[in-house]
Amino acid sequence: MVVLLTDFGHSEYVGVMKGVIYGIAREAKVVDLCHTIAPQNVTEGSWVLKNSYKYFPEGTVFCCVVDPGVGTQRKAIAVKTDKYRFVAPDNGLLWETVKEQRVIDMRQIPLPADASRTFHGRDVFARVAAAIELGDFERLGSKTGRVERLEFYKKGTEGIVVRIDGFGNVVTNLGRQDKDKYSVRTGRKRYAMEFYPDYSSAKERELFLIEGSSNTLEISLKNGNANARLRLQAGARIEIS
């Protein structure tokens, strides 16, 4: 199974990547994890991957393309852990995921001479994902002993926004503190917010906190889009105390 994670949105780029994979590994099963990562937002892509990969069968190949450095000297990398396989630009996208696993092998992927400088998803990562699916990991490229780090900042009650989901919920990497009321600071703005155990408990059009499926605090707006009010991006600092 090959699982795709990109910031390509609802575009032909996703379909072309699938075409490349099927052209090499015709019997592969290709699954879409997410293509609505905010454009070029490596932090958001990293969060989605970290909180999603473990729900797939062992042996799954994750082809991850959130790549603001496409066409530059940034490296391309493939990582083999004891349970999964990953291929991505080496820009920190994989760090939070692979650091919690036992890494068996890592390979630096050489870039083909004919690769487009703007579409490595098609010309590099889809090809490599298909090769891994066929069992060719050891022939991908030279061994490497490192992967670029991208840590999710967290210090006390201060952390970061890690995801804006399709409902406009603002997902953070901060845990609940067993309180019913919180002070939320973003930039120069501060908000008082109630914590509720579910969406229905909040008042209509009220900004509030809830514990999301990744066991971290999220800011929501009942029957509305919280981020339309807050206008935050993944990677922004936030304090919840």
Q: Which of 64, 59, 96, 68 is nearest to 77 (CA)?
A: 64
Tell me the three-class secondary structure of the chain, residue by residue.
CEEEEECCCCCHHHHHHHHHHHHHCCCCCEEEEECCCCCCCHHHHHHHHHCCHHHCCCCCEEEEECCCCCCCCCCEEEEEECCCEEEEECCCCCHHHHCCCCEEEEEECCCCCCCCCCCHHHHHHHHHHHHHHCCCHHHCCEECCCCCCCCCCCECCEEEEEEECCCCCEEECCCCCCCCEEEEEECCEEEEEEECCCHHHCCCCCEEEEECCCCCEEEEECCECHHHHHCCCCCCEEEEC
CA distance 101 to 83: 8
User: Is 179 found in the same domain as 136?
Assistant: no
Whether 30 is in a domain gets the answer yes
Whether 17 is in a domain gets the answer yes
Mean pLDDT, rounded, for 29-56: 98
User: Is 218 found in the same domain as 138?
Assistant: no
Which of 108, 143, 178 is at the close of a domain?
143
User: Is 174 found in the same domain as 80?
Assistant: no
User: Is 139 found in the same domain as 91?
Assistant: yes
The confidence score (pLDDT) of residue 45 equals 98
Whether 149 is in a domain gets the answer no
State which residues form the domain around 116: 2-143
Q: If you average pLDDT over every residue of the chain, what do you get?
A: 96
Q: Which of 82, 81, 48, 84 is nearest to 65 (CA)?
A: 48
The confidence score (pLDDT) of residue 69 equals 95
Are the C-beta atoms of residues 71 and 58 closer than 8 Å to each other?
A: no
| Side-chain half-sphere exposure of 178, counting CA atoms within 13 A | 0
For 168-194, write each residue's pLDDT tens digit: 999 999 999 988 999 999 989 999 999
Which of 143, 172, 203 is at the close of a domain?
143
User: Is 60 found in the same domain as 178?
Assistant: no
The confidence score (pLDDT) of residue 235 equals 96
Whether 163 is in a domain gets the answer yes
Mean pLDDT, rounded, for 31-52: 98
Which of 85, 112, 143 is at the close of a domain?
143
Whether 153 is in a domain gets the answer no
For 52-91, write each residue's pLDDT tens digit: 999 999 999 999 999 999 999 999 999 999 999 999 999 9
User: Is 173 found in the same domain as 133?
Assistant: no
User: Is 135 found in the same domain as 183?
Assistant: no
The confidence score (pLDDT) of residue 22 equals 98
- Return the C-alpha torsion angle 71, 110, 36, 211, nearest 10: -120
Whether 150 is in a domain gets the answer no
Domain count, the chain: 2
User: Is 108 found in the same domain as 71?
Assistant: yes
For 121-149, write each residue's pLDDT tens digit: 999 999 999 999 999 999 999 999 889 99
The residues, ordered by sequence, that sit 6+ positions from 108 with a Cβ below 8 Å of its Cβ are 75, 76, 77, 90, 141, 142, 143, 144
- Provide the CATH number for the domain around residue 14: 3.40.50.10790
User: Is 229 found in the same domain as 116?
Assistant: no
User: Is 10 found in the same domain as 127?
Assistant: yes
